Amino acid sequence: MNLAKLFEMQAALDRHIETSHGLEKEDLVERKVLALLVELGELANETRCFKFWSVKGPSAEETILEEYVDGIHFILSLGIVRSFQEAVTDWDSEESTQKELTGQFLVLYDAINTYRMKQTREAYRRLFMEYINLGGMLGFGADKVETAYFEKNQVNFERQEQGY
């Protein structure tokens, strides 16, 4: 996966949004963190991994992948704000300490909150790597994520042009 290309594409989308909405001088980190938390919740909801009371299975893979990629947009954007693009150079997942999706989602909520409080390169790297680990647990490899990111990035630009 070409992470540099994803960061470049995300930076262009961020510039477009910030310019269109007059947000060039705003610090958007808190809003982006909250957006990421919301997207992570939407992703968890689509996997249904925590819904022990229900027999209904997860949503279709394409729906889960789209929600996953929505999170990638905000993670990339957070890295750009603090110039942490070099903190993660490849898409290789690390050994996750979690064996179940529910635990990995909770690890990610913690990583996001830790990043919010510290905003260090290491906190960003941990957040990114834990998200990659989640993708691996969901069965999403680098190529699939990259393709889905390219598609969703284009949709996001189109939405901005249509007054989303």
**pLDDT tens by residue, 58-108:** 999 999 999 999 999 999 999 999 999 998 887 776 667 778 999 999 999
3-state secondary structure of 96: coil
Domain ranges of the chain: 3-161
Pick the closest to residue 111 from 99, 100, 89, 96 (CA basis): 96
Q: What is the pLDDT of residues 131-162, one digit of tens each?
A: 999 999 999 998 999 999 888 888 877 777 77
In the 8-state DSSP scheme, what is residue 141? Answer: -
- pLDDT bucket at 55, cuts 50 / 70 / 90: very high
Helix locations, the chain, DSSP H: 3-20, 29-47, 61-81, 101-118, 121-137, 142-161
State residue 105's pLDDT score.
Answer: 98
pLDDT average, residue stretch 113-119:
97
Q: In the CATH hierarchy, which top-level class contains the domain 3-161?
A: mainly alpha
Residue 128: phi and psi, rounded to 5, are -65, -45
